[in-house]
Chains A and B, each alone.
Chain A
Amino acid sequence: MIIEIIISALIVIGGIFGLVGSFGLLKLKTTMQRLHAPTKATTLGVGGLLLASMVKAYYDKSMLSSHELLILFFLFITAPVSANFMSKAYMLLRVDEDGLPDTGSDYGWAGYDLPPADTETAHSRLGDSGPSD
């Protein structure tokens, strides 16, 4: 009985955060703001559901199922990478460098400036194959 209430509560919590994450995608206005919503859905939303699945497996078969932990682990290491790629792609297409805060060093942000050691070679490579117009 108690266990069933815990499982239901975890499913509802996971569902609510998944819903709020999706609602955020609809409601927020800029692309960078929308990027915040999916990180919420993957962390607490999926986390709650997986935790419920673990408790249920332990309750039914009294064995500790660890597949859920693996799913959570792989989500946690892949979600930031995809979010980073999306924000980078968006920034290079739509965000002007002038609107960004200063890096505090001699070099600009990685998408707009070349790294110190490669500056020369990268410039010559761009000069060779870059667009001529």
Chain B
Amino acid sequence: MLLRRLLPHPLLSVFLAIFWLQLVNKITPGNILLGSFLAIVIPIMTSTYWPDRPLLKRPLKAFAYTGIVLWDILVANIQVALIVLFKPNREIRSKWISVPLELKEPEAITVLAATITLTPGTVSAMLSADGSALLVHCLHSDDPEAVCADIKSRYERRLKEIFG
């Protein structure tokens, strides 16, 4: 109980400690002490802002997810660069795509929307009022269905595993 009150958000505490050490870029006992102090105080002070945060069911899968997203960013960057450089404007067919969501947690949807925006070629623009679908703008696509299926199978399925 005491531990729970002292560390309301253990993962955030670990992140903050690592962040602090990265920020000062030098590992000394003093820095570690100050980092641990911040890692304990900040989650306690901000815990009221995280009322119903979802627990990560499989946090390790997040690393695999990050790797996949970084790879997709690389590939999609090249594809979009080719579209921008070599496709005449009248041949670029931009489309709105509605992606139905199975994710329920706001945090998971936020990660999905951020992923869609970061991978070039797609920008997430709006959520439906009840949070059941995501509006995505696609720079160029002949097959909107395939883009939607790709988002669902590649990102949403993995996020469902992570957030449980």
Contacts and interface: CB of A to CB of B under 8 A. Distances in A.
Contacts of A111: 126
B96 A88 contact: no
A126 B147 CA distance: 37
B126 A110 contact: yes
Interface residues of B, number: 38
A8 interface: no
B84 A23 contact: yes
Contact of A80 (B74, B98, B117): B117
Interface residues of A, number: 51
B137 A87 contact: yes
26 contacts: A16-B81, A17-B77, A20-B85, A32-B123, A36-B80, A36-B123, A40-B77, A44-B73, A47-B73, A70-B23, A79-B118, A80-B113, A80-B114, A84-B124, A84-B125, A87-B126, A88-B125, A101-B96, A101-B135, A103-B98, A103-B133, A104-B98, A104-B100, A104-B133, A107-B132, A109-B128
Interface of B: 19, 22-23, 25, 73-74, 77, 80-81, 84-85, 89, 92, 94, 96-98, 100, 113-114, 117-118, 120-121, 123-133, 135, 137, 139
